[in-house]
C-alpha cells in the first residue's frame, strides 16, 4: 500500500502537530498577562497548596481564562467545520442555525432582568437556557426529514427573532449604563471568568464534541450529495439531529460563557481544509484544534496590545476574520 | 435472488409520479429503464434503492424489506449512482472512490485489504487508475462521471442502480460506460441503468422497462418493448431499424407529426 503523496501530512501527524501547537499557545496564554508572573514559582506554590499571590493569579485568573479560550475555540472551530460539511457550503458557520444568537439573547435577558447581579453564573445559565430553547424550537420547525433549505430558512428566522429580541432588550434598557454593559458583553470576552465557568461549560461541550465528531463518516459521504449519502447507509435526518444538537451544546455553552465570538468557525475550517485533502470528516478534529489555537492567540494578543480599555475578543477575531473574507471574495471572483 | 418492486405508487407534493409499478431486477442482467422526460424513471430508481418510501407497494431485496435488512446492510447490497457529476468539495479521486467503502466500515476499524482491493479494481474498471491523486476539480466532466461510477462499483454490491450515467459523456465514453455496465452484469451483479439513448438501450441492455406517465407500459427484450407502435405512442418518434454484424439496431429518426400516417 502506498501512502497518498498529495496530502502533505498524514492525519495523525497533522492532529499531533495541531494538538502540540494548542498546548504551546495554551502555555503562552497562561504565561502572558497584565502583571508579570513567575509561572514556575506559581505552579510550585499551587501544587504545594500555598495560597500565595502568584498561585492565586495562576489558578483564579490565568488558567480559567486559558482553559475557556481553548474550550470555546475548539467548540467554534469544530462546529464550524461540521456546519460547513452538513450544508456543503464554505460560507456556513455555527451561527447560521441561530443557536448562537439565541444563547446571546438568553444571557442578555439574564442581564436585563437583574438576575446576574444576584447570581454570578446567571449569564451563562441564561445563555444555555436560550440555546436549549432555540434548539427545541429548531427541531419543532424542522420536524422529521426536513431538508437543508428548510434548516437554513429556520436558522434565518431564529437569528432574526433572537436579534430583534436582543435589540428590544437594549431599547428598553433602564439606563444607558445597562445598555452599554449588554453591548460590551455581546462583543465577547474571556476576561474575569472563573473556574465555575469552565466547570459549567466543560461537560456540555464534551457531549457536543462527541456528537459532532461522530458525524465524520456521514459528512464525508455527503460530499456526493444527499441521495448518495443515504444510499451509503446514512440516515440524514439523524445526522442533522446529531449535528444541530452537538452545535447547540458546544456553541451554546461557548456563547453562554464568553459572549458572541464571530468568524472563528468560518475562518478556521477554511484555512485547514487544504491540509486534510478537503475531506469534511477529517476537517472536524483539525478545525477544533485550529479554533483553540486562534482564540488563544487572539486572546493573548489583545492582552499584549497597548490599548486600554482591553479590546474585546469578539472584536479582535472579527478584525482578523473580515479581511480574510475580503480575500475569499477576491479569490472567488477570480475563479468565477 | 432479486430486487422486486411490487405495486409501487409514489406521490410527491400531491402529484402522482408512479402508479402500480411491478418490476424485478435479477442478478447478472443489465436492465434498461427508459421513458420520456417526466415518466418517473428516477423516482422508480430511488424507490428501488430504498431512498424513498412508496405510498403503496413494497420493495424487497432478496425477499427482505429495507427495514428488516437495516441501513448498512442495504447499503452493502445496493449501490446507487446519482445523476450529475459534481462533488461538494474537491476531493482526490482516490478519496472519492474510497467513499464507496463506507458501508463496509467497522466501528474504530481502519481500511482493510478488501477495501484496497475493491478500490484498485474499481479504478481500473473505469479506466481512471491514473487519476488517483488528482482532485475532482481538475478533471473533465466525463472523467468525473467515470470516477463517480468507480465509486459506485467500489461498494461491490450485488445490485447497481445507475441514474443517467451517460449524461454529458462523448460517444466513446458512452460506449465504454455501457460496456462496463454490461461487464459488471456479466460478473454477476444486477444492474439497472436509466438512459435516454434508445440506440444504446437496444444494443446493450438484456431487458428494457418502459415507463410512461408513471406507469410501466412494457417490459421485455429490447425488440419486443420498442416496437413501432410504442415508439409512436410513448416517444412520439419514428425510428429507423437495421442490422449490423448480425445485431439489430434502432435509431430514432424523426418526430412523428400528428395526424399523419408514418411512411417508414
Instruction: State pLDDT tens for residues A158-205.
Output: 999 999 999 998 888 888 887 888 888 888 999 888 899 999 999 999
Residues 275-304 of A with CB under 8 A from B: 277-280
Across the interface, whether the CB atoms of A233 and B51 are under 8 A apart is answered no
Same domain as B165, residue B234: no
Alpha helices (runs of H) in chain A, residue ranges in sequence order? 11-31, 39-48, 53-56, 63-87, 99-112, 115-118, 122-142, 148-171, 176-186, 195-213, 216-222, 226-231, 236-258, 264-272, 280-304, 313-335
Q: How far apart are CA B50 and CA B75, in angstroms?
A: 9
Q: Are B260 and B247 in contact (CB under 8 A)?
A: no
Strand partners, B24: B4
| Secondary structure (3-state) at B106 | coil
Q: Where are the domains of chain A?
A: 11-335
Residues 18-47 of B with CB under 8 A from A: 46
Q: Which of A65-79, A136-150, A293-307, B94-108 has the highest mean pLDDT?
A: A65-79
Give B-chain residues touching A225 at CB under 8 angstroms. 82, 84, 86, 88
Residue A174 C-alpha cell reads as: 433602564
Predicted local distance difference test score (pLDDT) of residue A223 = 95
Q: Which domain does B244 fall in, by range? A: 228-264
Who among B84, B103, B116 is closest to A233 (CB)? B103
Across the interface, whether the CB atoms of A232 and B103 are under 8 A apart is answered yes
Residue B90 C-alpha cell reads as: 474537491
Give B-chain residues touching A230 at CB under 8 angstroms. 51
Choose among A266, A255, A272, A292: nearest CA to A80: A266
CATH label of the domain that carries residue B127: 3.40.50.300
Fill in the DSSP letter of residue B52.
S
Same domain as B239, residue B214: no
Across the interface, whether the CB atoms of A224 and B99 are under 8 A apart is answered yes
Across the interface, whether the CB atoms of A277 and B91 are under 8 A apart is answered yes
Give B-chain residues touching A7 at CB under 8 angstroms. 92
Nearest CA in chain B to A335: B137
Same domain as B135, residue B194: yes
What average pLDDT does range A81-85 have in this prediction? 95
User: In Å, how far is B240's CA from the nearest CA of chain A?
Assistant: 37
CB count within 10 Å of CB A44 equals 14
Give B-chain residues touching A287 at CB under 8 angstroms. none
Same domain as B134, residue B44: yes
Fill in the DSSP letter of residue B92.
B
Task: Phi first, then psi: give them for residue A131, nearest 5 degrees.
Answer: -65, -40
Per-residue pLDDT of chain B (264 residues; tens, 9 = 90+): 899 999 999 998 888 999 999 999 999 999 999 999 999 999 999 999 999 999 999 999 999 999 999 999 999 999 999 998 789 999 999 999 999 999 999 877 778 899 999 999 999 998 888 887 899 989 988 889 999 999 999 999 999 999 999 988 889 989 999 999 999 999 999 999 999 999 999 999 999 999 999 999 999 999 999 999 999 999 999 999 999 988 889 999 999 875 555 554
Choose among B55, B39, B47: nearest CA to B23: B47
Q: Are B59 and B111 in contact (CB under 8 A)?
A: no
Q: How far apart are CA A109 and CA A97, in angstroms?
A: 20
Q: How far apart are CA B142 and CA B166, in angstroms?
A: 9
CB count within 10 Å of CB A239 equals 22
Give B-chain residues touching A148 at CB under 8 angstroms. none
Choose among A281, A239, A284: nearest CA to A142: A239
Same domain as B252, residue B140: no
Predicted local distance difference test score (pLDDT) of residue A326 = 84
Higher per-residue pLDDT: A74 or A307: A74
What average pLDDT does range A110-121 have in this prediction? 79
Across the interface, whether the CB atoms of A231 and B133 are under 8 A apart is answered no
Strand partners, B34: B210
Q: Are A232 and A108 in contact (CB under 8 A)?
A: no
Nearest CA in chain A to B76: A232
Choose among B172, B118, B116: nearest CA to B146: B172
pLDDT surpassing 70 at residue A145: no
Give B-chain residues touching A5 at CB under 8 angstroms. 133
Whether B157 and chain A come into contact, CB under 8 Å, resolves to no
Residue A233 C-alpha cell reads as: 447507509
Nearest CA in chain A to B106: A217
pLDDT surpassing 80 at residue A75: yes
Whether A1 and chain B come into contact, CB under 8 Å, resolves to yes
Question: Domain total for chain B?
Answer: 2
Helix axes A264-272, A280-304, angle to 10 degrees: 120
- Probe site for chain B from A82, A231, A239, A276 (most B CB atoms < 10 A): A231
Strand partners, B12: B15
Q: Are B211 and B34 in contact (CB under 8 A)?
A: yes
Choose among B6, B94, B93: nearest CA to B54: B6
| Lowest mean pLDDT across A91-95, A233-237, A312-316 | A91-95
Choose among A209, A247, A211, A263: nearest CA to A99: A247
Alpha helices (runs of H) in B126-230, residue ranges in sequence order? 141-154, 171-186, 198-204, 222-225, 228-230
Same domain as B110, residue B184: yes
Task: Report domain A11-335's class.
Answer: mainly alpha
Across the interface, whether the CB atoms of A235 and B71 are under 8 A apart is answered yes
Residues of chain B with pLDDT > 90, as a percent, come to 78
Same domain as B202, residue B235: no
Same domain as B148, residue B213: yes
Nearest CA in chain A to B159: A231
Task: Say how many CA atoms lie within 13 Å of A182 toward its Cβ.
Answer: 26
Higher per-residue pLDDT: A222 or A92: A222
Who among A220, A222, A233 is closest to B72 (CB)? A233
Q: Are A142 and A154 in contact (CB under 8 A)?
A: yes
Q: How far apart are CA A29 and CA A62, in angstroms?
A: 8
Choose among A182, A73, A175: nearest CA to A127: A182
Amino acid at each position: 500500500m502506498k501512502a497518498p503523496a498529495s496530502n502533505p501530512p498524514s492525519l495523525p501527524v497533522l492532529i499531533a502537530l495541531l494538538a502540540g501547537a494548542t498546548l504551546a499557545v495554551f502555555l503562552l496564554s497562561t504565561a502572558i498577562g497584565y502583571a508579570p508572573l513567575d509561572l514556575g514559582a506559581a505552579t510550585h506554590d499551587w501544587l504545594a497548596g500555598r495560597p500565595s499571590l502568584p498561585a492565586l493569579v495562576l489558578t483564579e485568573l490565568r488558567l480559567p481564562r486559558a482553559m475557556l479560550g481553548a474550550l470555546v475555540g475548539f467548540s467554534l472551530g469544530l462546529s464550524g467545520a461540521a456546519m460547513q460539511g452538513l450544508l456543503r457550503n464554505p460560507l456556513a458557520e455555527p451561527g447560521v442555525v441561530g443557536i448562537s444568537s439565541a444563547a446571546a439573547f438568553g444571557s442578555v435577558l439574564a442581564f436585563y432582568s437583574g438576575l446576574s447581579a444576584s447570581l454570578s453564573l446567571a449569564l451563562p445559565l441564561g445563555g444555555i437556557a436560550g440555546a436549549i430553547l432555540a434548539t427545541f424550537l429548531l427541531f419543532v420547525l424542522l420536524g422529521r426529514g426536513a431538508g437543508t433549505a428548510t434548516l437554513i430558512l429556520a436558522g434565518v428566522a431564529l437569528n432574526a427573532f433572537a436579534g430583534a429580541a436582543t435589540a428590544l432588550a437594549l431599547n428598553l434598557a433602564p439606563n444607558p449604563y445597562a445598555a452599554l454593559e449588554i453591548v460590551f458583553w455581546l462583543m465577547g470576552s474571556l476576561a474575569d471568568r472563573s473556574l465555575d465557568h469552565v466547570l459549567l461549560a466543560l461537560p456540555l461541550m464534551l457531549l457536543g464534541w462527541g456528537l459532532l465528531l461522530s458525524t465524520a463518516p456521514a459528512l464525508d459521504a455527503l460530499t456526493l450529495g444527499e441521495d448518495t449519502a443515504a444510499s451509503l447507509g446514512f440516515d440524514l435526518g439523524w445526522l442533522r439531529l446529531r449535528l444541530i444538537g452537538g452545535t447547540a451544546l458546544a456553541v451554546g455553552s461557548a456563547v453562554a460563557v464568553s459572549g458572541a465570538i464571530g468568524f472563528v468557525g468560518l475562518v478556521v475550517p477554511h484555512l485547514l481544509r487544504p491540509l486534510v485533502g478537503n475531506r469534511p470528516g477529517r476537517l472536524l478534529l483539525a478545525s477544533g484544534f485550529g479554533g483553540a489555537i486562534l482564540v488563544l492567540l487572539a486572546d493573548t494578543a489583545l492582552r499584549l496590545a497597548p490599548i486600554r480599555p482591553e479590546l474585546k475578543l469578539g472584536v479582535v477575531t472579527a478584525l482578523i476574520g473580515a479581511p480574510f473574507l475580503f480575500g475569499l471574495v477576491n479569490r472567488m471572483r477570480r475563479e468565477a | 435472488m432479486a430486487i422486486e418492486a411490487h405495486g409501487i405508487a409514489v406521490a410527491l407534493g400531491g402529484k402522482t409520479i408512479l402508479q402500480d409499478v411491478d418490476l424485478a431486477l435479477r442478478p447478472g442482467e443489465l436492465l434498461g429503464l427508459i421513458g420520456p422526460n417526466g415518466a418517473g424513471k428516477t423516482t422508480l430508481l430511488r424507490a428501488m434503492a430504498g431512498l424513498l418510501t412508496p405510498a403503496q407497494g413494497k420493495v424487497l431485496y432478496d425477499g427482505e424489506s429495507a427495514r428488516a435488512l437495516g441501513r448498512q446492510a442495504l447499503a452493502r447490497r445496493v449501490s446507487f449512482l446519482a445523476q450529475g457529476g459534481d462533488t461538494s468539495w474537491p476531493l482526490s479521486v482516490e478519496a472519492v472512490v474510497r467513499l464507496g467503502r463506507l458501508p463496509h466500515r467497522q466501528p474504530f476499524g481502519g481500511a482493510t485489504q478488501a477495501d484496497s482491493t475493491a478500490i484498485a479494481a474499481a479504478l481500473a474498471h473505469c479506466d481512471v487508475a491514473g487519476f488517483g491523486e488528482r482532485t475532482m476539480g481538475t478533471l473533465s466532466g466525463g472523467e468525473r462521471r467515470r470516477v463517480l461510477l468507480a465509486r459506485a462499483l467500489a461498494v461491490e454490491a450485488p445490485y447497481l442502480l445507475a441514474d443517467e450515467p451517460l449524461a454529458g459523456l462523448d460517444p466513446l465514453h458512452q460506449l465504454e460506460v455501457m460496456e462496463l455496465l454490461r461487464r459488471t452484469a456479466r460478473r454477476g451483479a444486477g444492474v439497472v441503468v436509466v438512459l435516454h439513448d434508445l440506440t444504446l438501450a437496444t444494443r446493450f441492455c438484456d431487458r428494457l422497462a418502459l415507463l410512461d406517465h408513471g406507469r410501466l407500459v412494457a417490459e421485455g427484450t429490447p425488440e419486443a418493448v420498442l416496437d413501432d407502435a410504442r415508439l409512436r405512442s410513448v416517444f412520439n418518434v419514428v425510428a429507423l431499424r437495421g442490422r449490423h454484424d448480425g445485431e439489430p439496431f434502432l435509431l430514432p429518426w424523426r418526430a412523428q407529426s400528428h395526424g399523419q400516417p408514418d411512411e417508414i
